[in-house]
Amino acid sequence: MIFVGCQTQPVPPEAREAELLEDDLRRAGAPVYVPEGTFAYEREHRAAKDALIREKAKPGWFRNYEQVRSKYQDLLTQGRNVLSKAKELKEARLAVLAGQMADLRRRISMVKEVSASINENQEVRKNLTKAEVAFREAELHAGRENLTEAEQKVNTARSHLARSEGAVYALLERYQDAGQVGKWRTWVAETIAHSKKTGQVVLIVDKLARKLTLYEKGKPATTCDIGLGRYGLSDKIHSGDDATPEGKYKIIRKIPKSAYYKALLLNYPNEEDLKQFSLARKSGQVSSRVSVGGNIEIHGGGQGNITRGCISVENGAMDKIYPQVVTGTWVTIVGTADLDNGVMKVIRKM
């Protein structure tokens, strides 16, 4: 009896639980998500430890851990609340990150889609690739729950993507100008009206849509995909600019055997082109050693080609077009006549 009465009281198990809970808080990132709550827990934990130490310092038969136990129980309740809050906030941060990554993925995919329609896409694609690399790094960090690093990589990816999107906007600025598009639409309407009125075949080339349409009596009869110049979305000003001209042209020669299967030579430069060239030269935009250029054709060789300014089509498509056109057939080349085409829709979403 005496022996039992003199036995030293065991340290309350809550003390160990509080230690483990502190580890759990650290692992759950509580110092980041609930800094004040974590600090309060650590402070109270220290106080509870001090109380425990004071009690342990007493001779065994004077020790009474009841108050200490009660302190620790309060501490555990406090700590569990902090842990739960930290987990909640971490989940919320993960959800925000997931949202940002989904948005980034969507934007990357849109720019990629648009860039496929643009030959002059070097800056777009280069920065897009850098954005994709940073995005993948963000995914790897997020997979390990390194959220801060993942967020940093998301920001890096965003900045590369912004450069890529900026390059797309710069390239397609003219295509979003209502006045310019209106002018192109008028050309198209006039050309179709001419076909309807005369019953003649006409060709309309939409550079942005990358389509050539053959109209018969004012109605579309054949449509095919096209390739353009390296800087095909720009209007041709001079030789060597690798741009595809915009304007109302005519076929001036049919070439049954050309370097690119069959070809239809256009009357570039027309009067408008010559005026534009002259203005560009006067303003110093074009060097005096450069000419206006020529030899713009619609030719075979494949729509995936990058030309020096010509319009290329698949040989099969050329076989369909070639017999239907004659010298003098109208060919109207526009940036775009369709503000609702796929590329413009994507641009508006970007």
Partner 1 sequence: MRGYAKLFVFGLIVAFAFTSCAKQPAQELNDAKAALEAANQEGAAVYAKDEAAKVEAALTAAQDEITVQSKKFFKKYGNVKQMLLQVKTDAEAVKALVPARKEEAKANAITVQTEAKAALDEATALLEKAPKGKGTKADIEAMKADLKGLEESFPAIQTALDAQDYFGARDKAVAIKEKAVSISDQVKAAMEKVKR
Residues that bind partner 1 (CB under 8 A): 19, 23, 26, 49-50, 53-54, 56-57, 59, 115-116, 119, 121-130, 132-134, 136-137, 140-141, 149, 227, 230, 301-306, 314
Instruction: Give yes or no for a contact between 112 and 134, defined as CB atoms under 8 angstroms apart.
Output: no
CB of 154 to partner 1, least distance (A): 13
Residue with tokens 């010509």: 310
2 vs 57, beta carbon nearer partner 1: 57
CB of 212 to partner 1, least distance (A): 15
The single-letter DSSP state of residue 243 is: P
Residue type, 300: G
Where does residue 94 rank: exposed (0-12), middle (13-18), buried (19+ CB within 10 A)?
Answer: middle
Q: Rounded to whole angstroms, how far apart are CA atoms 202 and 208?
A: 19
140 vs 252, beta carbon nearer partner 1: 140
123 vs 216, beta carbon nearer partner 1: 123
3-state SS record for 84-152: HHHHHHHHHHHHHHHHHHHHHHHHHHHHHHHHCCCCCCHHHHHHHHHHHHHHHHHHHHHHCCCHHHHHH
Residues 6+ apart with CB under 8 A from 263: 254, 255, 297, 298, 299, 300
CB of 265 to partner 1, least distance (A): 20
Instruction: Give yes or no for a contact between 149 and 141, defined as CB atoms under 8 angstroms apart.
Output: yes
CB of 208 to partner 1, least distance (A): 14
168 vs 292, beta carbon nearer partner 1: 168
49 vs 183, beta carbon nearer partner 1: 49
CB of 198 to partner 1, least distance (A): 34
Which run of H or of E encompasses 261?
Answer: strand 261-266
Please list, residue by residue across 72-90, b when 16 or more beta carbons sit within 10 angstroms of its beta carbon and e when fewer do: beebbebbeebbebbbebb
CB of 161 to partner 1, least distance (A): 12
65 vs 277, beta carbon nearer partner 1: 65
Tokens at 38, concatenated: 């974590």
125 vs 345, beta carbon nearer partner 1: 125
Q: What are phi and psi of 294, to 5 degrees?
A: 180, -160
CB of 251 to partner 1, least distance (A): 24
Among 178, 346, 310, CA closest to 232: 310
Instruction: Give yes or no for a contact between 227 and 298, defined as CB atoms under 8 angstroms apart.
Output: no
CB of 136 to partner 1, least distance (A): 4
